[in-house]
């Protein structure tokens, strides 16, 4: 890594609890990293408020600010580069990543997903829908996955997984609470392993 502390760029769409978990781990010095910028497609995302309250640059970039999809892709990439992000974390980001960003940050974009991929991933599988599908399928075990991002939704090499037991009487909300706790721990753990060199990312 070029910087003494690995600089993290975030793409977020909603609440921002994964973002919060990483910020806290940085503050606690569990993670040798610093949040560099938070970008959201949703101007009213809670994650932007979290970033602002931590004095982290918080920027809304979406089809509203950039109606042209190629310009949008470039704007997100340039913003990450301007803030010198080394790694990009999709922390609850519900939009597809454009080709410009994928090329600029090849093998440096990390996603957290609330299931044991490849199960319950792909387009339309996000948030509570994932947990509802897990329950409908009668799964006994679910969990969280952190993976490198490639051209498709929820695909790309898996970097880490954590299992969560499905309990009798679970509903999507109760399951989501336990999976979310696993997500927070897993994301910090995988980032730690990347920063310490225990997980070696493929070449840029």
Q: Which residues have a catalytic role annotated?
A: 113
Least Å distance between CB 128 and ligand GAR? 9
Residue 17 vs 79, nearer CB to ligand GAR: 17
Q: Binding to ligand GAR by residue 14, rule CB under 6 A?
A: yes
State how beta strands 33-40 and 6-12 pair. parallel
Alpha-carbon span 177 to 195, nearest angstrom:
28
Q: Which of 166, 180, 182, 186 binds ligand GAR (CB under 6 A)?
A: 180
Which of 127, 132, 155, 199 is the binder for ligand GAR (CB under 6 A)? 127
Pairing of strands 158-165, 141-148: antiparallel
State yes or no: residue 113 binds ligand GAR (CB under 6 A).
yes
Q: Number of H helices and number of E strands within the chain?
A: 6, 7
What's the rounded Cα separation, in Å, for the pair 33 and 26? 6
Helices marked H in 34-127: 46-53, 69-82, 99-104
Residue 160 engages ligand GAR in binding (rule: CB under 6 A): no
Binder of ligand GAR out of 126, 147, 166, 182 (CB under 6 A): 126
Does residue number 189 form part of the binding site for ligand GAR (CB under 6 A)?
A: no
If the CB atoms of residues 9 and 14 are measured against ligand GAR, the closer one turns out to be 14
25 binds ligand GAR (CB under 6 A): no
* 79 is an interface residue for ligand GAR by CB under 6 A: no
Give dist(CA 179, CA 16) in Å, integer. 15
The DSSP code for 203 is P
Rounded-to-integer distance, Cα 117 and Cα 104, Å: 25
Binding range to ligand GAR, per CB under 6 A, among 50-58, 65-73, 96-104, 110-118? 110-118
Do 118 and 39 contact (CB within 8 A), yes or no? no
Stretch of 8-16, 35-43, 49-57, 167-175 contacting ligand GAR, by CB under 6 A: 8-16
């Amino acid at each position: 890594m070029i910087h003494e502390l690995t600089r993290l760029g975030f793409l977020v769409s909603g609440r921002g609890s994964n973002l919060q978990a990483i910020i806290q781990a940085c503050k606690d010095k569990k993670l040798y990293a610093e949040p560099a910028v938070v970008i959201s497609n949703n101007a009213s995302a809670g994650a932007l408020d979290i970033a602002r309250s931590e004095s982290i640059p918080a920027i809304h970039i979406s089809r509203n600010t950039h109606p042209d999809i190629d310009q949008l892709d470039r704007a997100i990439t340039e913003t990450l580069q301007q803030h010198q992000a080394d790694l990009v974390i999709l922390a609850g980001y519900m939009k597809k990543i454009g080709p410009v960003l994928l090329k600029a940050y090849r093998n440096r974009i990390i996603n957290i997903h609330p299931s044991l991929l490849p199960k319950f991933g792909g387009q339309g599988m996000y948030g509570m829908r994932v947990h509802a599908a897990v329950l409908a399928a009668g799964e006994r075990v679910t969990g969280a996955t952190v993976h490198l991002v490639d051209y498709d939704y929820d695909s790309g090499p898996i970097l880490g997984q954590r299992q969560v037991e499905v309990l009798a009487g679970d509903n999507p909300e109760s399951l989501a609470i336990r999976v979310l706790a696993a997500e927070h721990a897993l994301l910090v753990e995988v980032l730690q392993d990347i920063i310490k060199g225990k997980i070696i990312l493929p070449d840029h």
